[in-house]
C-alpha cells in the first residue's frame, strides 16, 4: 500500500440501512480495501438529520452535520456518497456536490433514471465522476459488467430480475400456492416488502433500474418516462399454475432489446421456460441476463438489496473513484458506457410495436366452432399459434383455454384480443401475459 | 468519440481460433467499440507463421510478420495481444513485449498461472499493463468482477465450473447415462474436446484458472504448483446416479477458500446440491460463484471458451488498456487485485488439511455388524455421518453403501478410509468424492 498517500475523504449523506452498511463495511474491511485501492478510504463527515442516532452509530471520530448541504459544500470532502433517496432533496444535494467539484457515489436509481442526463452532463462539465453501481442489483457488479466487461459487443438485449421484493412474492405464490395479497402481507411482516410497496409491486423500481441498464447497453440517454411498466398486482395464481404445467415460470422481468427501428423498454410479468437459469432464481435474489453478439448470453446473480450487499457496490464505486480521482477525465469510463458525444438517438418503441410471444387465457363456451373462431381471429391478425391447452378446471358448459403464440407484434395481439372479446362465446376477459425464450 | 485521438495500434500474435475471433470482433464492432473507448482500436500488424493463411483472413491492409518477435519489437505497436498459447515462446514474447514498453493482453492462463509473478513484476517495472480477462471463463467478466466489482469485500471463497469440456462431458454422462470414454469420444468428434484432451479432463486447465482467481480473491502470489488437482477420468456413472438419487449433481469445480491457517486451492469432481444454480449449469457453459463477506454469494455465468466469447474478453481488455494507456500507472487496477507490496503470504494448504464434506461408497458384506464397524471407524476419526443409504444394485450377499459425512478434515477421512479397507467385510476400494454446499 502506498502509505504516504493521503486517505480519500468521504462525506456520507444518510445513515439509514445502506448508509449504515457502507459505514460498517468501510470500517470492518478497511485494511483489505486499502490493500486493493492503494489508499485509505475514510468517512470523515456524515450528513444525517438525526444527529443522536448518527452519533451512536459512527462514534466520536466522525463529524456529523444535521444539514447535508454542509457536507457537500465542505472543501475537505473528496467524494459525496448520497444515500438519502428520493428525487427532490437528493437531486439538489447531488447537483450541489458536483458544483463544488466533488465526485458522487449514489444508490439512487429513481434520481438517475429521471434526471440522469442532466446530472451526468453537469458532472462532465465539472470533470467529476458520478458512480452508481449500487443503483441496480445491489452488490452484483452488473453496471461494471455492461459498461466495461462487455465493451467488445453489440449488446442485443438485457433481461433481468431486478426487484427482489416482487421475485420473493412470485416465488412464494408459486411454491406455496398462495394468492398475491396474502404473500404481500407476509413479505411486509418479514421486511421483504415496505409498508408502502407500490414502487416495488407496480414495477416502478424495476423500471428505474432497467432505464439505466438500457442506456448503458445501447448508448442512449436515460428515458424513464418512455418505459412501459406493468407490476404483479393483477397476477393470478391460476396463471402461475398454468404456466408451470406448460413448462414455464412467471417472473417480473425488466426487458430491453434492440430492434431495427428502436429500443424496447418494458417491465412486466413474463413467462420464461422453466429450465433457464433465470427461471430458477428464487426468493429475493436478483439476476440479469445480458446478450452480446460476440459473447452470447451471460448472467449475473446475487442479492439485489439489503444493508451490506448494497454497501458492497457503494464501496466498490468508492475504490474506483479513488483510483481515478487524480486522473485525466478522459481515462474514465463514460457514465452511460458510451462517450457522451456518441450517444445514439434510437427511439424507445411504443409498447404496441414490441415483439413478444404471448400467453392468452380465456373462458369460452364449450361448444363447436369456438376454437375455429378464435384461431381465425389470430390468423387474420398475423399471429400464429405455438400451443393450445384446455384446462380441466373450468365450470359446466364452459372451458378455460390457453393459447401460446409465436412471436407477434403487440398491436396485432391487442386487436385480436379486442375481436375475441366481441365473440358471444368468450365469457371472460382475455388474460394476456408476455412470454420470452431468452435464447 | 474523440475523433482527433490517434487510433491505438495493436499487434496480434496468433491468428488461430481466438486470434481470428478477436480480429473479426474488432472489425465488425469497430464503430460501437470506438463509441465506448473514445478511440479507435486497430490491428495494424499480425504475427503468424502461416503468412498465407493470415493474409486470407485479414486482407491487405494489415502487415503480417512470420516472426512474432518482429511484432513485439515494432515501435509502432502500442499493445501486444498474445494468443499463441503455451509457456515457452509465449513467455519470451510477453517478456520481450514488456521490455519494449508495450502493454500486453493475453488469454494464456497456463503462462500466467506458472509465470505470472515474474511477468507482473516485469510489467510493473516498465509501467505497462498485462490484462488477462480472457484467461478465465472466456467472455464472462469474472476477473473484472473480482478485481474491481467486489473490492469492498473480504472474499471468503470462490467455486467455479471453469472448464467447459469437462462440464459438457459430465452433463452428457448424467443426462444420457453414458460412460466417460464414450462421451469423451463424442465430445472430440463434436469439437468440444481436443484431440489430446489431457489438460481439460485431468483438471489442469481448471487449476490454471483457479490459481489466478485465488490470487485475485485473496491477494496472494500465483502458486500453481501448490494446487491439488483431480480430473474426471476416474469418475464412474454409478456415482453420478447415486449423487442424483441423493439430491446432488457432480461438477468439476475449482474451489479456493480462505481458512484461518491458509488457502485451500483444489480442483476435483464435487457433489453440489441439485437446487443450486451452479448445479444446473449444463453443457459447455461456465459459472463462477464468489462469496464475499458483505455481498454474500454472487454468480457469473456464460460461455467459457470459443472464438467470439473469448474474443469478447480480449477486446474488453483492449478497451481498458486503451483508456489507461496514457494514465499514471498508479491509477490502474493492480494485476492481482491487491497492490503488489500488499500481497499476503498466506500459505496454500496441503490437501490433507482441507475441510470438506464427503461422499463415501463401499461394497460390503451383507452381514450384521458391518455398519457398526464402519460407523465406529468414522466416529473414532472425528467424522460425523450426515446420511447413509444402501444401494439396491449390489450383488448377492453384499451391499453397496453410501455415507455422506458432515464437514471433516481430509486427513482424518484418509485415515478412516485406510482403516475401512482393512476390514474383511469391505469388498471394494472405497470411492471418495468431496461434497460442497456452497452456501
Half-sphere exposure of A345 (CA within 13 A, CB side): 1
Q: A366 vs B209, which has greater pLDDT?
A: B209
Whether A313 contacts A133, CB under 8 Å: yes
Whether A147 contacts B320, CB under 8 Å: no
Whose cell is 437446487? That residue is: B275
Mean pLDDT, rounded, for A323-346 = 91
Per-window interface: A 346-375 vs B, CB < 8 A: none
Beta carbons of A139 and B327 less than 8 Å apart:
no
- Nearest C-alpha in A relative to B332: A323
Mean pLDDT, rounded, for B92-110 = 98
Residue B1 has a pLDDT of 43
Instruction: Provide the pLDDT confidence category of residue A332 given band limits of 50, 70 and 90.
Output: very high
Domain with CATH 3.40.50.720 in chain B: 8-139+308-342
Contact list in B for residue A35 (CB cut-off 8 A) is: 219, 338-339, 342
pLDDT digits (tens, 9 = 90+) for B405-435: 999 999 999 999 999 999 999 999 999 999 9
* Rounded CA separation A97/A82 (Å): 10
Q: State which CATH number among 3.30.70.260, 1.10.760.10, 3.40.50.720, 3.40.50.300 fits the domain covering A8-140+308-342.
A: 3.40.50.720
- Exposed e or buried b for every residue in A47-63, given b needs 16+ CB within 10 A? bbeeeeebeebbeeebb
The verdict on A345 touching B (C-beta cutoff 8 Å) is: no
Write the residue in B29, B295, B324 that is nearest to A312 by C-beta.
B295
Residue A2 has a pLDDT of 46
Per-window interface: B 277-296 vs A, CB < 8 A: 277, 280-281, 292-296
pLDDT digits (tens, 9 = 90+) for B349-400: 999 999 999 999 999 998 889 999 999 999 999 999 999 998 766 677 889 9
Residue A8 has a pLDDT of 97
- Is 3.40.50.720 the CATH classification of the domain at B8-139+308-342? yes
pLDDT digits (tens, 9 = 90+) for B282-331: 999 999 999 999 999 999 999 999 999 999 999 999 999 999 998 888 88
Domain with CATH 3.30.360.10 in chain A: 146-302
Residue B385 has a pLDDT of 96
Q: State which CATH number among 3.40.50.300, 3.30.360.10, 1.10.8.620, 3.40.640.10 fits the domain covering A146-302.
A: 3.30.360.10
Q: Residue A370 has which C-alpha cell?
A: 369456438
Instruction: Provide the pLDDT confidence category of residue A396 given band limits of 50, 70 and 90.
Output: confident
Mean pLDDT, rounded, for A263-270 = 98
Neighbours of A3 (CB within 10 A): 10
Contact list in A for residue B337 (CB cut-off 8 A) is: 36
Whether B127 contacts B98, CB under 8 Å: no
Residue A350 has a pLDDT of 98
Q: Residue B244 has which C-alpha cell?
A: 442424483
Instruction: Provide the pLDDT confidence category of residue A328 given band limits of 50, 70 and 90.
Output: confident
Write the residue in B1, B149, B339 that is nearest to A38 by C-beta.
B339
List A45, A209, A241, A251, catalytic entry:
A209
**pTM to 2 decimal places:** 0.97
Report, at the CATH architecture level, how domain A351-435 is classified. 2-Layer Sandwich (3.30)
Residue B439 has a pLDDT of 83
Write the residue in A36, A149, A301 that is nearest to B298 by C-beta.
A301
Contact list in B for residue A280 (CB cut-off 8 A) is: 277, 280
Provide the number of CB pairs (under 8 Å) joining chain A to chain B. 239
- Measured in angstroms, the CA of A288 and the nearest CA of chain B are apart by 10
**Does this complex have an ipTM over 0.90?**
yes
Whether A339 contacts B2, CB under 8 Å: yes
SS3 assignment for chain A: CCCCCCCEEEEEECCCHHHHHHHHHHHHCHHHHHHHHCCCEEEEEEECCCHHHHHHHHCCCCEEECCHHHHHCCCCCCEEEECCCCCCHHHHHHHHHHHCCCEEEECCHHHHHHHHHHHHHHHHHHCCCEECHHHCCCCCCHHHHHHHHCCCCCEEEEEEECCHHHHHHHHHHHHHCCCHHHHHHHHHHHCCCCCCCHHHHCCHHHHHHHHHHHHHHHCCCCCHHHCEECCCCCCCHHHHHHHHHCCEEEEEEEEEEEECCEEEEEEEEEEEECCCHHHHCCCCEEEEEEEECCCEEEEEEEECCCHHHHHHHHHHHHHHHHHHCCCCHHHCCCCCCCCHHHCCCCCECCHHHCEEEEEEEEEEECCCCHHHHHHHHHHHCCCCEEEEEEECCCCCCEEEEEEEECCEEHHHHHHHHHHHHCCCCECCCCEEEEECCCC
Write the residue in A34, A38, A277 that is nearest to B330 by C-beta.
A38
* Rounded CA separation B185/B19 (Å): 27
Question: What are A302's strand-pairing partners?
Answer: A286
Mean pLDDT, rounded, for A265-285 = 97
| Chain B interface mutation, best of A145, A151, A439, highest count of B Cβ atoms under 10 Å | A151
pLDDT digits (tens, 9 = 90+) for A336-390: 999 999 999 899 999 999 999 999 999 999 888 999 999 999 999 999 999 999 8
Residue B69 has a pLDDT of 98
The verdict on A60 touching B (C-beta cutoff 8 Å) is: no
The verdict on B149 touching A (C-beta cutoff 8 Å) is: yes
Active site residue A209: yes
CATH class of B352-435: alpha beta
Q: Kindly tell me if the per-residue pLDDT of B2 is higher than 50.
A: no
Instruction: Provide the pLDDT confidence category of residue A326 given band limits of 50, 70 and 90.
Output: confident
Domain with CATH 3.30.70.260 in chain A: 351-435
Contact list in B for residue A342 (CB cut-off 8 A) is: 1, 34-36
Mean pLDDT, rounded, for A271-297 = 97
Residue A392 has a pLDDT of 66
The verdict on A314 touching B (C-beta cutoff 8 Å) is: yes
Write the residue in B277, B331, B339 that is nearest to A1 by C-beta.
B339
Average pLDDT, chain B: 95
Fold of B142-304: Dihydrodipicolinate Reductase; domain 2 (3.30.360)
Residue B4 has a pLDDT of 57
Amino acid at each position: 500500500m502506498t502509505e504516504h498517500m493521503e486517505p480519500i475523504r468521504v462525506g456520507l449523506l444518510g445513515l439509514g440501512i445502506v448508509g449504515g452498511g457502507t459505514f460498517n463495511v468501510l470500517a470492518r474491511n478497511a485494511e483489505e480495501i486499502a490493500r486493493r485501492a492503494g489508499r485509505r478510504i475514510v468517512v470523515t463527515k456524515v450528513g444525517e438529520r438525526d444527529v443522536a442516532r448518527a452519533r451512536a452509530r459512527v462514534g466520536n471520530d466522525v463529524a456529523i452535520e444535521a444539514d447535508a448541504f454542509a457536507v457537500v459544500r465542505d472543501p475537505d470532502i473528496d467524494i459525496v456518497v448520497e444515500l438519502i433517496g428520493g428525487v427532490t432533496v437528493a437531486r439538489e444535494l447531488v447537483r450541489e456536490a458536483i458544483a463544488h467539484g466533488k465526485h458522487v457515489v449514489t444508490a439512487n436509481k429513481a434520481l438517475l433514471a429521471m434526471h440522469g442526463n442532466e446530472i451526468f452532463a453537469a458532472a462532465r462539465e465539472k470533470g467529476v465522476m458520478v458512480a452508481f453501481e449500487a443503483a441496480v442489483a445491489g452488490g452484483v457488479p452488473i453496471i461494471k459488467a455492461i459498461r466495461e466487461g462487455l465493451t467488445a459487443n453489440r449488446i442485443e438485449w438485457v433481461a433481468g430480475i431486478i426487484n427482489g421484493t416482487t421475485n420473493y412474492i412470485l416465488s412464494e405464490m408459486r411454491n406455496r400456492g398462495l394468492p398475491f395479497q396474502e404473500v404481500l402481507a407476509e413479505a411486509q411482516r418479514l421486511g421483504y416488502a415496505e409498508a408502502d410497496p407500490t414502487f416495488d409491486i407496480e414495477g416502478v423500481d424495476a423500471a428505474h433500474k432497467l432505464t439505466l441498464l438500457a442506456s448503458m447497453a445501447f448508448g442512449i440517454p436515460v428515458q424513464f418516462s418512455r418505459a412501459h411498466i406493468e407490476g404483479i398486482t393483477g397476477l393470478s395464481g391460476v396463471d402461475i399454475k398454468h404456466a408451470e404445467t406448460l413448462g414455464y415460470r412467471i417472473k417480473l422481468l425488466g426487458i430491453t432489446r434492440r430492434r431495427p427501428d428502436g429500443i424496447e423498454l418494458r417491465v412486466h410479468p413474463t413467462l420464461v421456460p422453466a429450465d433457464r437459469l433465470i427461471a430458477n432464481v428464487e426468493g429475493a435474489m436478483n439476476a440479469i441476463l445480458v446478450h452480446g453478439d460476440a459473447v452470447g448470453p451471460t448472467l449475473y446473480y446475487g442479492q439485489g438489496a439489503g444493508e451490506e450487499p448494497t454497501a458492497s457496490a457503494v464501496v466498490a464505486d468508492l475504490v474506483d473513484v479513488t483510483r481515478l480521482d487524480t486522473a485525466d477525465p478522459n481515462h474514465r469510463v463514460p457514465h452511460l458506457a458510451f462517450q457522451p458525444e456518441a450517444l445514439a438517438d434510437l427511439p424507445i418503441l411504443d409498447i404496441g410495436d414490441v415483439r413478444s410471444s404471448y400467453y392468452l387465457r380465456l373462458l369460452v363456451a364449450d361448444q363447436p366452432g369456438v376454437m375455429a373462431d378464435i384461431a381465425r381471429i389470430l390468423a387474420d391478425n398475423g399471429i400464429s399459434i405455438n400451443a393450445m391447452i384446455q384446462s380441466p378446471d373450468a365450470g359446466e358448459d364452459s372451458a378455460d383455454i390457453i393459447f401460446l403464440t409465436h412471436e407477434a407484434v403487440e398491436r396485432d395481439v391487442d386487436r385480436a384480443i379486442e375481436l375475441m372479446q366481441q365473440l358471444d362465446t368468450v365469457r371472460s376477459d382475455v388474460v394476456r401475459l408476455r412470454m420470452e425464450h431468452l435464447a
